[in-house]
A and B are shown apart, each in its own frame.
Chain A
Amino acid sequence: MKKKFTLALAGNPNCGKTTIFNNLTGARQKVGNWPGVTVEKKEGILKHKDYELKIVDLPGTYSLTPFSIEEITARDFIINETPDIVVNIIDASNLERSLFLAIQILELGRPAIFVLNMADVAQAKGIKIDEKKLSQLLGLPVVFTVGNKNKGIENLVEAAVQEIHQFESGKKSRDIRYSLEIENCIVKIESCITESQIQIDGMPRWNAIKILEDDKIVKQKLMDQNSQIAQHVFQEAKLCRERIHTLFEDDFEIVLTDDRYGVIAGIIKEIVSNLARKRIDMSRNIDLVLTDRFFGIPVFVFFIWAMFQLTFSLGEYPMGWIESGVSFLSTSLDNILPASLLKDLLLDGVIAGIGSVVIFLPNILILFFCIALFEDTGYMARTAFLMDRVMHASGLHGKSFIPMLMGFGCNVPAIMATRTLESPQDRILTILMTPFMSCSARLPVYIVLAGSFFGNQAGTVIFSLYLTGIIVAILSGRLLRNLLFKGAEAPFIMELPPYRMPMLKSLLIHMWDRSKMFLKKMGGVILAGSVIIWCLSSFPRNISYSQDYSLKMASVKSDYELKIAGTDQKTAQKLNTELALILGDIENKKEQERVSKSYIGRIGKFLEPVFSPVGIGWRAGVALVTGLVAKEVVVSTMGVLYGVGNSGGQALERALKKSGMTKLSALSMMVFVLLYMPCFATIAMIYKETSAKWAGFSLIYTTSVAWGGAFLVYQTGKIFGLG
């Protein structure tokens, strides 16, 4: 029988942990700790000799102090789920800071091994590390690896398995000793805990340290066990803290941090010898341009421009193919299947709904490829560095820039990208602001409306709309920051990792992983939404039409047949086309009346009083409601409601103008489309990433802002006589 063990990979962000995880399990995932990287743990199975090893990739953290979601996740996993061994990946070229986490992991008292990764980089830097000595000092095995060249992975696994057996046969990890005063405090609290015979997760010594550090989570755990003893321990800890404070004039945790770095400095002195002089630092040289005072921002703007150019220009071709593919599918099904309600559902609900999502796949793939490229090279951190000042002005963090930017492509991945903002407040705020970034699905609506009513100025109008979105987002940010999140903003402490050469394979896998997530999560929601909207617009079935369209069509048909019969071939052809046009027109009229009498039409009419102050008629109102499925659906619904079917384009333009829509009401409608509630998919995403409360808030907030904005535009316009 195979033995099963669990290995947890822990380490700093950017230490190459995920690469090692990929090497171990074969499944490749994200490198780095930036927007878009998930916080969830990732697992994989590795077969090694007689063992089945479950590998869990923990999020990258700098310490085990529970500040951010990542740190809490990592810590909880190690403590609560007790993996058989913790594999701590250490960036060998960045030993001092990496050891800070290593010492804390050691303190947990769990079986662990240390992996000095990027040994090649360290060597190139002229750093020589005596791993035997390190192993001796820490009392745990140390192995070298080069993650991206798949070196040393075998050793890692073997050492891990050996170490698990060592601990099974009674090995205890070594304690790190601190300075006398600190040590006295730790021993005191530790004995308090052991005397009380209480079992908390983890080693008593670790718990003692955490209680002394005033760690809320550990304190709560003790409290839950036995509040009386907890009070006693806390009292003792308080005395100790006070004592340290009078001695060192600083908090216990600060003194301990200093002490830890002291211990690390000692270890480093023992094990590291610098061989050669530093060679040229490529990363710094790249940064001489990319974050330069003068070039930094232009280059950044260029990259962003290139990204969008790629996403939307290059994406256009496959989009066209998909579009024709979907329409081919639906026409062939149309011809094959007999007319039925089910067929309508399949064609107009399911296929149309899924088609509207799949069509974005090329865009999403390219966008995610670019984002993965930014992340894997290390440029993403620079964008936050460059843009923090701007984002800070609206109460946000530099890291919020990327999600907001992605919002221009699609709000769904943008909201996914907010995950690694450290402070939950920043995350929620960014999520609430993102829907104001005009996503690509809103563009078709602008194109139709601005194209129809503003002619040559259409470009300017559309640009102003994008700008309005940004301004509203900034204002909202400030407003919400002041009203809802009064607390201090999260500090901007961010590592700028060295630039690294991305691996194409990993880029492709990142891209696909995320796009898959997009398709999976969104497919379901959009499908459901499309079906609902289809139902609303298809029922009730028994509509009493104002006139008998089929009778009319039949009479027109017979009229023409008579005419055609009496003429030569040429005239007959002409008359035939005429007939087709008239029949199509009647068909459209019928459809128009049907939709207006369907549930959705009723909803539109019901909502008319709401929309009339902003100059939006009931038809456009219905279109807006259907736009919840996906914003571009607004255009096709308008096509149906204005009686031009799906022919769109100029026919729709004429119909819109004929319906009495003015420049002003078109503008008002565009503003509404820009700002009103995001599509189902986005709302679903907000709900998944935050809570029902915030999803609801976003829904109400954006829609009120949209109504207010449109009202302002329409009424001001009317005052100036533009209506």
Chain B
Amino acid sequence: MTDTHEQEKKQFKRLFAQQGVDQFDMRLMVLDAFLKLEHHVTIQEIMEQLAQDGNQLSEEFVLNSMELLCRFGFANKNEFDVNKTQYEHRHLGLHHDHMVCTKCGTILEFKDEAIEKQQLKVADAYGFHMLQHKMEIYGICSACMEDRRVLVPLHKARPGEKLIVKDFSAGQNMQSRVSSMGLRIGDTIEVVSSGFGGQVVIAAGENRLVLGKGMAEKISVQPLDPVSILTLEKDQDVEETVDVPIPLKHMKKGQEGIIRKVSGEGVFRRRLLEMGINRGSKIYVEKYAPLKDPIELVIKGFHISLRVEEAANILVENVKYKKR
């Protein structure tokens, strides 16, 4: 790491010298402090580091320097909405996305090839040429989650969280009141908002319920972890539906969709149409051949095979998994 830091400094010197940036030495101090921290830092944290190194600089100057560093590609500026503006060291050629914990503010860096590809795919399907993207996932980090594995009172839940109602630790009176509102043990609820003096707004199915602090305290809930949400939804056969039309070649085994468009060269296209691959028809991906090419499709009740490159000419919408 120090090696790259040394190189970065050299580059920094060269670039800033070329560009004739003023107060060169002081800016170098800012970079030094920034690189030492090597994580997501706020201006304040940089100021503190500078102070530790025995340098006193004005906040305005540090801010200005960080902007410059961003401009020359040494730093990235992130504005996660729970925290203040933060800066991170930008490693050239290495892209990553962030997960931000809304409880403790921890920032995790991650990279997932499938997501990266999916973004390109979606952009491509819209005929959009993607240059770059920013992806931030907000949620609760595993450490915070661990603290809440066990039952928690409802008023501590965060907005957006999905929960299962486990218990009412209240008297007969209140229980019947809650029940009359349509909330039962075992229901899945989502927190719409919280705060405002302990008042919690939840969504239970189609209903919105407002619970006072007193009541919310007495309802024990268990967070539903996202993985189980996925499996839950799969069982109900309502798995992710991609509304964006995607080329047939990006469809997976077991997916079904509706043909939106068939493009391609004259004879070939006509052939496809005559075989029944026309706009509006349902198309199901039965499987890919063992060597990944061609694809076996089911259309109008018969099986047909196409090469992957040819399947690129067919745009399919409403793609979803379907059991056959």
Contact = CB atoms under 8 A, between A and B. Distances in A.
Interface of A: 62-63, 65, 67, 93-94, 96-97, 100, 251, 253-254, 257-258, 261, 283-284, 287, 291-294, 296-297, 381, 384-386, 388-390, 392, 398, 488, 491-498
Given A254-B270, A291-B289, A392-B293, A493 B304 contact: yes
A96 B293 contact: no
B307 A388 contact: yes
Interface string B302-314: 1111110010000
Interface stretch (B3-11, B76-84, B272-280): B272-280
B145 to A, nearest CB: 36
Interface string B271-309: 111111011010000111111111010001111111100
Interface of B: 265-276, 278-279, 281, 286-294, 296, 300-307, 310, 324
A96 B289 contact: no
A256 to B, nearest CB: 10
Contacts of A253: 270
A330 B218 CA distance: 107
A389 B310 CA distance: 13
B296 A496 contact: yes
A392 B307 contact: yes
A163 B174 CA distance: 82
A97 B294 contact: no
Given A287-B296, A292-B290, A496-B296, 10 more contacts: A67-B271, A100-B274, A100-B276, A253-B270, A291-B289, A386-B291, A388-B307, A491-B307, A492-B294, A493-B305
Nearest to B270: A253
Contact of B291 (A63, A67, A94, A389): A389
Contact of A257 (B278, B291, B292): B278
A258 B275 contact: no
A261 B290 contact: no
B307 A496 contact: no
A492 B286 CA distance: 17
A296 B289 contact: yes
Contact of B275 (A62, A292, A296, A385): A62
A396 B49 CA distance: 67
A552 B288 CA distance: 76
Contacts of A497: 302-303
Given A62-B274, A65-B270, A258-B273, A385 B292 contact: no
Contacts of B287: 287, 291, 293
A493 B272 contact: yes
Contacts of A398: 294
A493 B300 contact: no
Contact of B293 (A251, A287, A388): A388
B276 A492 contact: no
Contact of B271 (A287, A293, A386, A493): A493
Contact of A491 (B276, B290, B310): B310
Given A100-B276, A492-B305, A388 B294 contact: yes
Nearest to B293: A389
A498 B281 CA distance: 21
A302 to B, nearest CB: 14
A492 B274 contact: no
B302 A94 contact: yes
Contacts of A94: 300-302
A91 to B, nearest CB: 9
Contacts of A292: 290
B296 A291 contact: yes
Contact of B300 (A65, A97, A258, A291): A97
B166 to A, nearest CB: 40
A388 to B, nearest CB: 5
11 contacts: A65-B274, A96-B301, A97-B302, A254-B269, A296-B289, A386-B291, A493-B272, A494-B304, A494-B305, A496-B296, A496-B305
B273 A254 contact: yes
A493 B310 contact: yes
Given A67-B267, A254-B269, A389-B294, A261 B276 contact: yes
Nearest to A91: B302
A389 B278 contact: no
A294 B287 CA distance: 12
A381 B304 CA distance: 10
Contacts of A392: 293, 307
Contacts of B276: 96-97, 100, 261
A69 to B, nearest CB: 15
Nearest to A254: B273
The listed residue with most A CB atoms (<10 A of its CB), out of B278, B290, B294, B306, is B290
Given A100-B276, A253-B270, A257-B278, A386 B307 contact: no
B310 A385 contact: no
Contacts of B306: 491-493
The listed residue with most A CB atoms (<10 A of its CB), out of B270, B279, B288, is B270
A294 B300 CA distance: 28
Given A96-B301, A254-B270, A386 B279 contact: no
B215 to A, nearest CB: 48
Contacts of A493: 271-272, 275, 304-306, 310
Contacts of B304: 493-496
Contacts of B294: 385, 388-389, 398, 492
Contacts of B267: 67
A257 B266 contact: no
Contacts of B266: 251
A398 B281 CA distance: 26
A16 to B, nearest CB: 14
Nearest to A261: B278
A487 to B, nearest CB: 11
A293 B266 CA distance: 33
A386 to B, nearest CB: 6
A280 B268 CA distance: 34
Contacts of A390: 291
The listed residue with most B CB atoms (<10 A of its CB), out of A63, A291, A297, is A291
A495 B272 CA distance: 11
Contacts of B272: 491, 493
- Across the A-B interface, the 3 shortest Cβ-Cβ residue pairs: A389-B291, A496-B303, A257-B273
A62 B273 CA distance: 11
Nearest to B253: A293
Given A63-B274, A100-B274, A253-B270, A389 B292 contact: yes
Nearest to B310: A491
Contacts of A93: 301
A642 B303 CA distance: 59
A97 B293 contact: no
A180 B279 CA distance: 19
Nearest to B291: A389
A96 B299 CA distance: 10
Nearest to B266: A251
A488 B307 contact: no
Contacts of B279: 258
Contacts of B300: 94, 96-97
A521 B205 CA distance: 77
A416 to B, nearest CB: 24
B132 to A, nearest CB: 33
Nearest to B274: A63
Nearest to A384: B305
A559 B266 CA distance: 88
B99 to A, nearest CB: 34
A392 B310 CA distance: 13
B305 to A, nearest CB: 5
B270 A385 contact: no
Contact of B268 (A251, A491, A495): A491
B275 to A, nearest CB: 6
A177 B78 CA distance: 62
Given A293-B290, A392-B307, A492-B306, A97 B275 contact: yes
Nearest to B267: A67
Contact of B289 (A67, A254, A388): A388
A696 B281 CA distance: 48
Given A251-B266, A296-B289, A390-B291, A385 B273 contact: no
